[in-house]
Amino acid sequence: MTEKHEQDSVNSPATPWRLMEIILDKENQFDVPYSMCHEVYPNIIIGGKTPARNKSMLVDLGITHIVNCAQGDAYGFVNTDQHYYQDVGFQFYAIKARDQIGFSILPYLKPTADYIHQALLSGGKVFVHCCSGYSRAPTVVISYLMHHKHMDVRDALTQVRSKRRVAPNASFREQLCELNAELFSNK
């Protein structure tokens, strides 16, 4: 963590605008992932729809658990379930989150963070995905880092962004800041 970032973390509340400062590249532009998936924290890989449906690739990566953050069969969702992965033996967990302003992802964050935590405690390797691995899946992983690694939202986002270009949508950033205030209000 940089000295400036450390000072910001101590002296000011996390806000969606401060998170944007972490997300934007040097030219103040959004950037997109350059690869199908990235290990953003030990044994946690974020990716999109294509690798999520490539079971042989997931086996080669050593994946044991799948978290589908966009379960469904409509456009913008990934239609996989426990049955889809039955032949390779992956454990499966899903939420039906929409990547839309106004969608409340907050109720899903703690249970999903707990699932990831239990998977890792059992020696597992978790593939967390949505359609592109850009908004929903990173939001869930950031929440895991906040809940179980006790990271401030800015530190968690910085950790994920150091490995994969991500940008939770504005609504998710706001909800992550609410979660941050709730988790760290006594610090």
Catalytic residues: 130
Give burial (CB, 10 Å; 0-12/13-18/19+) of 3: exposed
| Residue of 116, 133, 127, 124 whose CA lies nearest to 58 | 127
Three-state DSSP state, 27: coil
**24-60 burial code (b ≥16 CB/10 A, e <16):** eeeeeeeeebeebbbebbebbbbbbbebbeebebbee
